[in-house]
Amino acid sequence: MASKSASRTTLRSPKSSKTKSTTVTAATAGSSTRSVEKRLAELRQRLGEIADIKAASAVLNWDQATYMPKGGGAARGRQNATLNRIAHEKSIDPALGRLLDQLDGITTVRTDDHDDTALVRVARRDFERAIKIPAALVERISAHGNSAYTAWTEARPANDLARMLPFLNTGVDLSRELASKFGNTAHIMDPLVDAAEPGMTVADVRALFNALRPHLVTFLASATARKPCDNACLLQHFPEPKQLAFGLKMAEHFGFDLTRGRLDRSPHPFCTSFATGDVRITTRVKADDLAEALYSTLHEAGHAVYEQGVAAELDRTPLAGGTSAGVHESQSRLWENIVGRGEKFLTYAYPLLQKQFPEQLKRIPMKTFYRAINRVEPSLIRTDADELTYNLHIMIRFDLECALLEGTLAVADLAEAWNARYAQDLGVSSPTHSDGCLQDVHWFGGIIGGAFQSYTIGNILSAQFYSAATAKHPSIPDELAEGKCSTLHGWLRDHVYRHGRKFTPLELVQRATGAKMSTEPYLAYLDAKYSACAGLPASALGSPST
């Protein structure tokens, strides 16, 4: 309405008999604009308080995973539950809903991609989801997640599945209760998938997996028909401090800013952001496996450069962060695999690694190392899996989550079902629960379901974003061979990072790449890379599908 009033004012002559009416209209427009600005300021203040509380909770979670003494677990659970409840109560405040109602018409004066328009749109989506969930349930989920995580850090090394079964049962019950708050959906896990990947359903994920799986299975069969590449060069003794130092140095090459971030150790690597000026990553180290810390660090650095690249003006709002878990994973997988395991970047990085570990690597040719870190072999551990088998790990977990929430799989039968699927899909079997259904922290951090599919979506998008970047800047591969990542990082910052959550995942992909999400670039990438690594003929993967 303000826009229309301003338009009428410009069409009338000052000498018109309607001058008085024009003046009133202009004043009304000005008053309306001031009212909008006042409401936007109030909205930012309310959302900023919520963001601050969530950031404080994230700091406590980071501390719990890194430095908190063992005895602090129970208190930490209470503290986080309280903070999450308060944040949720503020998120569902009726006054916030009324404020959003009053701002719904902001698109009449501002474009869809304007920060304020996006803020109202995203805040509205978050509010409408939040009001369906009771604050007491949020508090219970948080308390359970803290208790389950503390128990998991002890139970996994001890191979103690029995200790975790009650936590798994509670996690399933809480996940079902949470999903039920969204009414009748086609699948009970749909609301959990939508939380991670806005607009997606279980059916969408299954369709994506069904299109991808045959290509992966065919190519994997061809790759594993040959003897795996020798990876003995990775399995020597590598002093842990030197591993951490080298991984951090490579993360800095990617664009990880240590004036706004840091690296620590935790049982399960992760990235967390308290603000664009404070982004933390963690890794885990094995003295007898060079790849563990190096590629965990590069993976988390990919998440971190995304968070650090969000436009500063979006800080302390719901727009400050990745637009979806899948888009976020696209960055961790792009920097870890396409760059970090890529032949071009290793041309630069491997000589530096040889200098860091001369006794272990000075006689190991670059080609041997490259083939070793891209070795194809079905294995038990998802985070250590090669790029061909990784998505099969994800599909197993997704199917098991669906079955748990559907009630077609009992928690007591999870380990047996896990081993059966691993034998069927990957031809391996875990002798321990630690390397079986206890290996991932995801099922022991609160909610079960809706997270794992994002890893495969991230893999697909990693290749699509990289393909778009190199199409615009063909020099990127040669620059990577010289250790220069600034052009690639700059393209990603401008087309992905800086927007935060301003656009939906599908909108962002379309804007950045000029196309809908497609498996074609990803399958073409796997085909080219692993045909060379495994000594297979070109196009062993078959015709990519979209």
The single residue listed with the structure tokens 């590449």 is: 229
Q: Is 89 a catalytic residue?
A: no
Angle, alpha carbons 338-341-343 (nearest 5°): 90
Question: In the numeric block, which tokens belong to residue 539?
Answer: 């196009």
Please list, residue by residue across 219-230, b when 16 or more beta carbons sit within 10 angstroms of its beta carbon and e when fewer do.
bbebbbeeeebe
DSSP tag of 314: G
User: What distance in Å separates the CA atoms of residue 500 and residue 271, rounded to the nearest whole number?
Assistant: 16
What whole-number distance in Å separates Cα of residue 135 and Cα of residue 181?
12
Strand partners, 264: 282
DSSP string, 368-422: HHHHHHT-----S-GGG--TTTHHHHHHHHHHHHHHHHHTSS-GGGHHHHHHHHH
Helices 520-534 and 202-224: angle between axes, nearest 10 degrees: 20
Burial classification of residue 331, based on how many CB atoms lie within 10 Å of its CB (0-12 exposed, 13-18 middle, 19 or more buried):
buried
275 pairs with which residues across the strands? 278
Q: Single out the catalytic residue among 292, 300, 307, 387.
A: 300
Name the residue type at position 124.
R
**Cα(first)–Cα(last) distance of the chain, in Å?**
44
CA-based R_g, the chain, Å: 25
Catalytically annotated residues: 300
